[in-house]
Structure 1
Amino acid sequence: MTELGDAEHRFIEAMALHFERQGGTRIGGRIHALLMLADEPLSLKRIAELLKVSAASVSTNIRACMSMGLVEPVSVPGDRQHYYIISSEGWESRLSTAEEAMKAFVRVCRGALASPRLADKAHLREAAEFCEFYLAEMAGIAERWRAARAARPSRASKASKGRTA
């Protein structure tokens, strides 16, 4: 990846603000966006150069992106640097994390509703029922996504057709 143009910068900054609104860090959003645009693995040093931030900040935030399942490390033969790419399972990881958080929320609400003093609280019941409905509607979505993705022609195979060895 060479230098970034205006369109790339706009996308990276939009993703940075999105991450921040979701409780993450702007730099984490920038790293995620940059790796979404990259056609090859990027080193910590190259990420820092392209985003014009410190290598320490990239290192800290790349670990956060990895813990969310969005980014994964890869090796480049003959090179000892650490390289990173977008995780192919990242979207499913985010969905799974959101589902687990919603299930925990339901448990908290249902636990409160089990108390005779709180059993008639309509807002608690509504919250639990909505989340249970939502979870039931979302059931199987990851499996349907994998099936849809498997049915599509691979972008990697399309890209390799134009390359020569």
Structure 2
Amino acid sequence: MNPQESEFIDRMGLVMERFGGTRTMGRLYAWLMICDPPYQSLTELAAQLGVSKTAISTIARQLETGGMIEHVPAQDRQHRYRIVPGGWTQVLRAQFAAVRPVRETLDFALEFVGEEPRGPRERLEEQRDFFVFLERDADEMLERWRQYRDKQHNDDRSDA
């Protein structure tokens, strides 16, 4: 691994921490984005990242459950993994799913606070409106992303 690859991997570890994952999770995902071949065994991942095979196995299962990587069948019976296209989309979908319970909780609070325009009602409504906006726009944004990705993919094919 060269110094630029190493820096990319470390930076992605920090990014993943900001999304609620672990630094090693981000590092593993980053390596799978740039490694050649594009699939790696647990042993290869552990060696490249300087992490125990057990830790890599645990993190790989978490990333697989999250829809970011997948297990690749191999004849040598080693567990091999590669990234799944749209993995970050899955992460954002999960993050956006957390919006609904916040909005529902704010709706609940609005049922029992007073009707005075200033005070708790105003603060709650402003917060609730933000989460309503986020819920609506999250779905629209992910659909726009799908359309954009499909167009880019089709444009790339027509250039070839």
TM-score tier after normalising by the smaller chain length: 0.7 to 0.9
Q: For this pair of structures, how many residues does the alignment match?
A: 153
Gaps of 5+ in 1: none
Amino acid at match of 1:58: I
CA–CA separation in structure 2 for the residues paired with 1:93 and 1:37: 20
CA–CA separation in structure 2 for the residues paired with 1:100 and 1:138: 9
Q: TM-score, normalised by structure 2?
A: 0.83
TM-aligned CA distance change 1:59 to 1:117, over 3 Å: farther
CA–CA separation in structure 2 for the residues paired with 1:27 and 1:116: 45
Residue in 2 aligned with 1:99? 96
Secondary structure of residue in 2 paired with 1:85: strand
Gaps of 5+ in 2: none
Amino acid at match of 1:128: R
Aligned match of 1:61 in 46, 53, 59? Answer: 59
Percentage of matched positions with identical amino acids: 33
RMSD: 2.4
- Displacement of 1:106: 0.6
Residue 25 in 1 paired to residue 22 in 2? yes
Residue 88 in 1 paired to residue 88 in 2? no
Residue in 2 aligned with 1:52? 50
User: More displaced, 113-122 or 143-152?
Assistant: 113-122
- 8 Å Cα contact 1:112/1:118 also seen in 2: no
Residue in 1 aligned with 2:125? 125
CA deviations over 1:91-114 (Å, ceiling 9, x no partner): 221221122101111111111211
Q: TM-score, normalised by structure 1?
A: 0.81
